[in-house]
Structure 1
Amino acid sequence: MRTWLPYPIVSLGLCGLWLLLNQSVDPAHLLLGALVGIAGPLLGRRLQPRGYPRLRAPWALFRLLAMASVEVVRSCFNVCRIILFADYAQVNASFVRVPLTLRDPYGLALLSCLINMTPGTVWVEILPDSHDLVLHVFDLQDEQFWIDTIQRRYEQPLLDIFTTEADRADLA
């Protein structure tokens, strides 16, 4: 069963999404939805780096997502204010290097999503030699503020969520 349906919930979700997008439950759409639901996870199976992630602190994930939602709304207003009312000569778009401790691929992927969905910030790359995150900030006023924000507000909860005590001892 696992060879044809490695992720049955994802398969069911893809099939349901197909039917919703087509707004039809005709036999042809049911068949195509089932094919998409089976083929999608089979083709994407090798993209999983290490199976399903293990969430060590689900409440920390909830708090992180709630805090990030507030941050996204706040950033929307700030970016709109800058675009509509600021003098463009005063806008200081710049890059910031943020040293990261987080090494878990799922944690880094979630960090990337959180940073990129926040208006005014873009994840550029992780430098392979130093494992620093290069971040582009639309209007940089205080570089240390951004380093502290990424490390304390985002990286620390992600370390709590995705790493074990043994992993943290290896990182230290």
Structure 2
Amino acid sequence: MNLLVLNLLLALAWMGFNADFSLGGFTAGFVLGHGVLWLGRPLYPTQRYFRVFWGSLGYFLWLLKEIVTSSLKVAASVLGFGEKVQPAVIAIPLDARTDLEITLLACSITLTPGTLTLDVAPDRKHLYVHAMFGGDAAALCAETKDSMERRILEVLR
């Protein structure tokens, strides 16, 4: 059985035993169930649940930080005291191969203010991105690959 489903069932059982059908009751049950499953992880040596769960949480928090910092950068530029706008369309070579990896990367880029994913090359080896601050295309490409794409691939592979 998938450990995520088992964790959700443990959370529901906790809610039932405590007759607390609230978000707090679910959260407490999920955290306790996660702890129980973590203690029993030697029983599931092939499961990637914990690595994917914590990696996804880490990626979400990192992406949230990137969204906030990019928003501040764009706002400063719009108000006239930030970096000068230098729009550019950049082809970023992809290490991501599956539809999920490419889609998650494209959506993450689009969510970050100042960047917009335009298209994926037909051979799926490049992602075309419009950047508001694209003065140094090589640096932007390297930064995207080293931070965003690397983090996505670490979680999904």
* Short-chain TM bin: 0.5 to 0.7
Q: What is the RMSD of the two structures over their aligned residues, measured on CA atoms? A: 2.5
Q: Distance in 1 between matches of 2:129 and 2:54?
A: 27
How many residues align? The count is 110
Q: Deviations over 1:5-57 (max 9, x none)?
A: xxxxxxxxxxxxxxxxxxxxxxxxxxxxxxxxxxxxxxxxxxxxxxxxx8663
Q: Deviations over 1:92-134 (max 9, x none)?
A: 1011111001012122222122111111000011112361111
Residue identity opposite 2:90 in structure 1: V
Instruction: Give the CA deviation at 1:87.
Output: 9.3
Q: Distance in 1 between matches of 2:142 and 2:148?
A: 9
Matched residue, 1:83: 78
Which 4+ residue blocks in structure 1 deviate beyond 6 angstroms?
Answer: none
Q: Deviations over 1:66-115 (max 9, x none)?
A: 11111100110111111111599x52101111100101212222212211
Is the partner of 1:102 in helix, strand or coil? coil
Residue identity opposite 2:76 in structure 1: R
**Where in structure 2 are the equivalents of 1:9-24 lying within 5 Å?**
none
Alignment equivalent of 1:99, drawn from 71, 82, 93: 93
Given the two structures, how large is their TM-score scaled by the length of structure 1? 0.57
Q: Does 1:148 align with 2:142?
A: yes
Q: Does 1:109 align with 2:93?
A: no
Q: Distance in 1 between matches of 2:90 and 2:105?
A: 15
Q: Is the 8 A contact 2:91 2:129 kept in 1?
A: yes
Q: Does 1:63 align with 2:61?
A: no
In structure 1, list runs of 5 or more residues that go unmatched: 1-53, 164-172
Q: Distance in 2 between matches of 1:141 and 1:61?
A: 31
Is the partner of 1:73 in helix, strand or coil? helix
Q: Distance in 2 between matches of 1:139 and 1:153?
A: 17
Is the partner of 2:117 in helix, strand or coil? strand
Residue identity opposite 1:142 in structure 2: D
Q: Does 1:73 align with 2:57?
A: no
Residue identity opposite 1:145 in structure 2: A
In structure 2, list runs of 5 or more residues that go unmatched: 1-47
Q: Is the 8 A contact 2:88 2:135 kept in 1?
A: no
Given the two structures, how large is their TM-score scaled by the length of structure 2? 0.61
Q: Is the 8 A contact 1:125 1:134 kept in 2?
A: yes
Identity of aligned residues (%): 25
